[in-house]
C-alpha cells in the first residue's frame, strides 16, 4: 500500500444516476459509518488511473449521509478528470476517498443567508435541512443556475436566478439578486460559495454596503476560470 493510500477509505459505488446536469452517486464503506460529518463538509476522491503513483484528487460536498453510506451530487460540466470519472462511475466501482472534513458549516444565528451557484447548492442542501425549523423558516437562499434542469431540492425560501447560458464567473445577476433582498436590519450569518470572483463581490456587498461583520460572512471559493487546485 502506498503511503498516501493510508489516509483514504476504499468505498464502493452502490448507486449512480444522472438527473439534468447532476450525477448522483451513493458510496459505501464501513469506515464511513463511524466518521464524523457535519452538513457542508466535503470528501476528496481519487479520480486518477488505477495504480498511479500519486492520487488525482477532486473535492465534492456530501449531499447526505446514512450509516456507512454517503451521497454525492456532482455537476457534470467540462471534460476534466473529475467530470469524466463521475459521468462514467457505475454501481460496483471502487474509489479511494477521504473522510468528510471542512469548516464550511453553519454557525449559531437568528437567521442564515446562503448565496452561490450550482456548485454551491450541493453544500447548501444539507446545511438547510439540518437547521432547526425556526431558523430555517427565517433563512434565505439565492442560487444561480443555468436553467431549470440545474435545480436541486433545497428546503426553505429559495430565490432561483437563471443565467440562460451566460457565464457564472463574476456574476452580476447573482450579486444584484442579493442586493435587492429584503433582509432583517440585524445581520445573520451568510454562507457564500462557488466562483471565486462572485464570492468576493457578494462578500464585499454584505460587509461594506450592509454593514455585516466580516466574521458573519463565511466564504468558500470552489473554482474560477483558468485556475485549478482551489478544491
- The continuous run of DSSP H or E covering 69 comes out as strand 69-75
pLDDT tens, 152-165? Answer: 999 999 999 999 98
Q: Do 73 and 24 contact (CB within 8 A), yes or no?
A: yes
51, 52, 80, 125, 191 from 154: Cα distances, Å:
38, 38, 27, 5, 15
State how far the Cα of 61 lies from the Cα of 220, in Å rounded to an integer.
12
Which of the two residues, 165 and 141, has the higher pLDDT score?
141
Binning pLDDT at 50, 70 and 90, where does residue 24 land? very high
Q: What angle do CA 160, 162, 163 make, to 5 degrees?
A: 145
Q: Do 128 and 136 contact (CB within 8 A), yes or no?
A: yes
Q: Do 181 and 112 contact (CB within 8 A), yes or no?
A: no
* Ranges for all domains in the chain classified under CATH 3.40.50.80: 112-223
pLDDT tens, 33-62? Answer: 999 999 999 999 999 988 888 889 999 999
Report the candidate in 111, 31, 22, 113 with the shortest Cα–Cα distance to residue 65.
Answer: 31
* Ranges for all domains in the chain classified under CATH 2.40.30.10: 3-97
Domain spanning 3-97: which CATH class is it, in words?
mainly beta
The predicted pLDDT at position 78 comes to: 77
Least confident of 74-78, 154-158, 191-195, 211-215: 74-78
CATH code of domain 112-223:
3.40.50.80
42, 52, 71, 99, 219 from 195: Cα distances, Å:
17, 30, 23, 24, 11
- What does pTM read for this prediction? 0.93
Report the candidate in 222, 228, 158, 230 with the shortest Cα–Cα distance to residue 195.
Answer: 222
Amino acid at each position: 500500500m502506498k503511503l498516501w493510500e493510508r489516509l483514504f477509505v476504499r468505498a464502493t459505488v452502490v448507486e449512480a444516476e444522472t438527473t439534468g446536469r447532476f450525477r448522483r452517486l451513493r458510496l459505501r464503506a464501513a469506515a464511513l459509518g463511524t466518521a464524523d460529518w457535519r452538513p457542508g463538509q466535503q470528501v476528496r476522491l481519487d479520480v486518477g488511473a488505477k495504480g498511479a503513483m500519486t492520487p488525482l484528487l477532486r473535492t465534492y460536498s456530501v449531499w447526505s449521509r446514512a450509516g456507512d453510506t454517503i451521497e454525492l451530487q456532482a455537476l457534470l460540466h467540462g471534460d476534466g478528470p473529475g467530470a469524466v470519472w463521475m459521468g462514467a462511475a457505475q454501481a460496483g466501482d471502487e474509489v479511494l476517498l477521504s473522510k468528510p472534513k471542512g469548516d464550511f458549516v453553519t454557525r449559531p444565528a437568528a437567521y442564515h443567508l446562503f448565496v452561490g451557484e450550482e456548485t454551491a447548492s450541493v453544500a447548501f442542501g444539507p446545511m438547510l435541512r439540518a437547521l432547526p425549523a425556526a431558523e430555517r423558516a427565517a433563512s434565505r437562499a439565492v442560487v444561480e443556475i443555468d436553467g431549470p434542469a440545474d435545480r436541486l431540492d433545497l428546503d426553505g425560501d429559495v430565490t432561483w436566478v437563471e443565467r440562460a447560458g451566460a457565464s457564472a464567473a463574476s456574476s452580476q445577476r447573482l450579486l444584484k439578486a442579493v442586493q435587492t433582498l429584503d433582509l432583517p436590519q440585524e445581520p445573520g450569518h451568510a454562507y457564500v460559495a462557488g466562483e471565486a470572483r462572485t464570492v468576493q463581490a457578494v462578500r464585499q456587498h454584505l460587509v461594506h454596503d450592509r454593514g455585516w461583520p466580516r466574521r458573519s460572512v463565511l466564504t468558500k471559493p470552489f473554482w474560477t476560470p483558468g485556475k485549478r487546485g482551489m478544491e
